[in-house]
Amino acid sequence: MRDPPVAKADLRPSRSQIEALLVGIATNPVVRCELLDAFEEHGLLASTMPDSEIAADELGRLHRPRVNKALAAFDENLRSRVISVLEQLHAII
């Protein structure tokens, strides 16, 4: 008899982890909430339903094209600051 398959761990960041990163970038709580919602809607957060594209690698680093797609509705300055923080933390590939 075979052992049941082991579920893969969801290594995507949690909403609270991304929120902690955004505090210094988006001081306006409304904008911060909108950013978090965008991450969630695009399946970039743990426990959210990812779509058919892979959101993160085996180390939990988010894929840059997915992050860019999630942040497309925000201005370039804000997008680049979010990407920069993720790069500094090695949280994006």
pLDDT confidence of residue 52: 59
3-class SS at 16?
A: helix
Domain that holds residue 35: 15-88
* pLDDT tens digits, 9-65: 778 899 999 999 999 899 999 999 999 999 999 999 988 876 656 788 888 899 999
Rg (CA), the chain: 14
Give a yes or no: residue 3 inside a domain: no
Is 51 inside a domain boundary? Answer: yes
Query: Does 7 have pLDDT greater than 60?
Result: no
State the Cα torsion 51-22-29-69 to the nearest 10°. Answer: -30
In a domain, 44, yes or no: yes
Domain count, the chain: 1
Is residue 82 assigned to a domain?
yes
Q: Is residue 10 part of a domain?
A: no
pLDDT, tens digit, 9 for 90 and up, residues 72-85: 999 999 999 999 99
End-to-end alpha carbon distance in the chain: 40
The DSSP call for residue 24 is T
Tokens of 33: 């909430």
